[in-house]
Structure 1
Amino acid sequence: MLIEPRAGRLAAWGNALLAGLVSPDEAVVAIVGDDAVHRVAGLPGEPAPVGLTLALGRLRALGAGGLRLALPAPGHPLGLSGPPEFNARALEAAEAVVCHGAALGLVPEVSEAGPAGDVHVEVVWHCLPVREAPPADVPSLGEAERELAEALREATEALTRLDVAGSGPVAAAAIEAYRARAERGREVLAPGYPPRAVRVLELAQRVTALVDLAHGNGHGGAVSASEMAARGEALRPVERTARRAMVAAYNSAVEERDRGTR
């Protein structure tokens, strides 16, 4: 799973921009991050790819009042609402953004260019029609927080039960690394997000760190195919819970504004 999905950055900072809480320049710098450039292709009314500033302004003009994150996986169309063509593209990328208030979605295509040691990343967001319907399987922040607390216990127990070598100190180091990363990247959620969303996202990142630890190579020497299969089976529900929580956190700004207008 992506700890800091590009679609999450686009949704978070796009929401802050659409709410008037940050400037276009602030939003674009945060969305692009360490990448070289982001462009949007297929935007209605634009025959060629355009920059993020123009694209976000055009989405607002087309009726988008917010952006939602989707993190689909095989058999789990998390955050998607169709149609099948968009879902398939989003599943291939493992992430997407769905507009709230406009029947459009964005799927990233990531490419690398340049010589070894000087590689830069370019991202093209493909704008495609989506179905205006509730996103699939997205919990509330409260539900996500409760589920994550249990998932963190399950992940820790699974590491011990599966005898991942050094699971105690390595797990602690992984948690601390992701906690430090979360502290550094708290603005990933951008202005306008409730404090609970930050807590949920940080905990989801910690759970994901443990899942990645159990799946990762290089810990504990050789791992047989049967051992890797056992790890995958034990941790699949935990990984699913963490993905659901991440989507709930990134989407909470839209959900809260939507409730406030009812």
Structure 2
Amino acid sequence: MLSEPRSGRLAAWGNALLAGLVSLDDAALGVVGEDTVHRVEGVPGEARPVGLTLALGRLRALGVTGFRVALPAPGHPLGLSGPPEFNARALDAQEAVVAVGAPYGLVPEVDEVGPPGDVRVEVVWHCLPVREAPPADVPSLGEAERELAEGLRDATAALAQLDVAGSGPVAEAAMDAYRARAGRTGVGRDVLAPGYPPRAARVLELAQRVGLLISLAYEHGPGGAVSASQIAARGEALRPVERVARRAQVAAYNAWVEEQERG
């Protein structure tokens, strides 16, 4: 989920649309990305699922002035504001988009169809009522950047100690991410739509690097950790930084709304 959530694409390109920086068609193309098709079910006034262009246009007409991202996990309702029904659906999907200016939220349902080698990804967004309230546990962009740098530093030190001679793939990925935290590879800029501040791209890029680190850690298992206690220690080192990385991603995608609210 940390690489590029679909809710991030929807919020980023939806905000670019609301800012007048892209057309409805371009916004829809940005949201769909490499998927086959996206449709939206439950749009007010529509009895059937509709395309993204119609849904985004209708939400804009209903008073939506921005889009926020939520990336909840068990025990951490990051970005959610209720009601419980919406929160439960968002938690099941591990992501959601919450509108600003009108009480609506969108949760994706992803379906892969077709034979191996020709798999098509179809997404249905469920438009549901949400509570208009401050989202849970969302940091400012500045707070997220500081948290992420500190969390990555601590995780890098812990993982390097757990890998034998510091040569395990997880430790190497951690060191690469830590050294590159001030680098500029353009990952965030490729994901974010027009209108976002450069700092948001920088924070998103680092959060995605951390997401790669976490994925490697789980894919490669214990690596150099040779005891149950060391395996448990690796999990303890990863959990806080994974939480910080999700907070940073939410802050980056929400940066456009944050700027609008500041003036």
Note the 1:1-262 alignment, pairs <5 A.
Answer: 1-163=1-163, 165-171=168-174, 183=186, 186-217=189-220, 220=223, 227-260=230-263
Question: Judging changes above 3 Å, is the alpha-carbon distance between structure 1 residues 29 and 177 closer, same or farther for their aligned structure 2 residues?
Answer: farther
> Is contact 1:148-1:242 (8 Å) kept?
yes
> Is contact 1:38-1:123 (8 Å) kept?
yes
Q: CA deviation at 1:220?
A: 3.1
**How many residues are treated as equivalent by the alignment?**
260
Q: CA deviation at 1:179?
A: 10
Distance 2:59 2:245 in 1: 29
Amino acid corresponding to residue 187 of structure 1 in structure 2? D
> Is contact 2:153-2:178 (8 Å) kept?
no
TM-score (norm: length of structure 1): 0.91
> Is contact 1:18-1:60 (8 Å) kept?
yes
TM-score (norm: length of structure 2): 0.91
Q: Encode CA deviations 1:162-205: one digit per residue, 9 max, x unaligned.
A: 22624444445678999999625623211111111111111111
> Is contact 2:77-2:91 (8 Å) kept?
yes
Once structures 1 and 2 are overlaid, which stretch shifts more, 12-21 or 170-179? Answer: 170-179
Question: Judging changes above 3 Å, is the alpha-carbon distance between structure 1 residues 144 and 234 closer, same or farther for their aligned structure 2 residues?
Answer: same
Distance 2:152 2:43 in 1: 40
Question: Judging changes above 3 Å, is the alpha-carbon distance between structure 1 residues 82 and 98 closer, same or farther for their aligned structure 2 residues?
Answer: same
Q: CA deviation at 1:154?
A: 1.4
Once structures 1 and 2 are overlaid, which stretch shifts more, 21-30 or 48-57? Answer: 21-30
> Is contact 1:179-1:206 (8 Å) kept?
no
Distance 1:197 1:78 in 2: 18
Report % sequence identity: 74
Q: CA deviation at 1:213?
A: 2.2
Once structures 1 and 2 are overlaid, which stretch shifts more, 127-136 or 152-161? Answer: 152-161
Q: Encode CA deviations 1:71-110: one digit per residue, 9 max, x unaligned.
A: 0000000000000000000000000000000100000000
Which blocks of at least 5 consecutive residues in structure 1 are unaligned? none
CA RMSD of aligned residues (A): 2.5
Which blocks of at least 5 consecutive residues in structure 2 are unaligned? none
What SS is found at the alignment partner of 1:99? strand
Once structures 1 and 2 are overlaid, which stretch shifts more, 219-228 or 96-105? Answer: 219-228
Q: CA deviation at 1:233?
A: 2.0
Q: CA deviation at 1:206?
A: 1.7
